[in-house]
Amino acid sequence: MTDEAADDQTDEAAGISDSRDPNRIREVYDEIATHFAKTRAYPWPEVEAFLDDRSDVAVGLDIGCGNGRHSALLAEIAEMVLALDVSRELLLEASERMTRDGWTAELLCGDAVALPVERDSVDIAVYVATLHHLPDREHRIRSLSEIARVLNPGGNALVSAWSTAHDRFEDSDEGFDTTIDWTLPGGETVERFYHIYAPSEFEADLDASDLSVVETYVSSGNCYAEVRC
């Protein structure tokens, strides 16, 4: 390896290390919130399918709610929706969307690793495209166990994370950390931290948590799991 290549690798590792800091992750989504929300108009079909046969539940929880596109789906079946995100700016976007669509939700600014939600209080939850932003395996497993803590006995949840099976990555047996740029309308790019899961690694983290796994699968380049407490 040349000195120049080694320097490039060192710079990349330093960039990943900086971007994985939880405060930096929150700052990034506060910065891109308005543009991000405009590009996230529709719910994921996998979430629609998960919620399709559900009805008349008391409490639904959207962890990493972003602009509220999945909170709105939960509002169709739940008496109360808890919409949680670490970014206050994204919560403002979610509030505006929910109000515009005629739904209500209790907005919670908080961390997926320590959910500000009571034990055994949630009937159904979605945890979509957020797990992969947590900085390391310990935090990711703790966040999965938090879902088990807040779910009612008999409650269930859908969890997703980006996978090595995604088209933008070479399919690999091992997960890895990386950064992916978000390009703002003016051309400025903002680095976002991701842990890209190999499907077997995703299953291992689920098994290491307090959750019971009903089913795992890969769809549209993402790992999914339907889980129970």
Q: pLDDT (tens digit, 9 = 90+) per residue, 107-121?
A: 999 999 999 999 999
Q: Is the pTM of this model over 0.85?
A: yes
Residue linked to tokens 């929880």? 61
What is the structure's pLDDT at 27?
97
What is the structure's pLDDT at 5?
41
Q: pLDDT (tens digit, 9 = 90+) per residue, 188-222?
A: 999 999 999 999 999 999 999 999 999 999 999 99
What is the structure's pLDDT at 75?
97
Residue 211 is classified by DSSP as: P
Residue linked to tokens 């999945």? 70
User: pLDDT-derived band of residue 4, with 50, 70 and 90 as boundaries?
Assistant: very low
What is the structure's pLDDT at 167?
86
User: Helix (H) and strand (E) counts for the chain?
Assistant: 7, 9
Give dist(CA 104, CA 167) in Å, integer: 36
In the predicted structure, residue 169 carries a pLDDT above the cut 90: no
Q: pLDDT (tens digit, 9 = 90+) per residue, 114-160?
A: 999 999 999 999 999 999 999 999 999 999 999 999 999 999 999 99
Average pLDDT of the chain is 93
The residues, any chain, with a CB within 8 Å of residue 93's CB and separated by 6 or more, are 33, 34, 36, 37, 66, 67, 68
User: CATH number for the 3-228 domain, one of 3.40.190.80, 3.40.50.1360, 3.40.50.150, 2.60.120.10?
Assistant: 3.40.50.150
β pairing state of 222-228 and 212-219: antiparallel
What is the structure's pLDDT at 16?
85
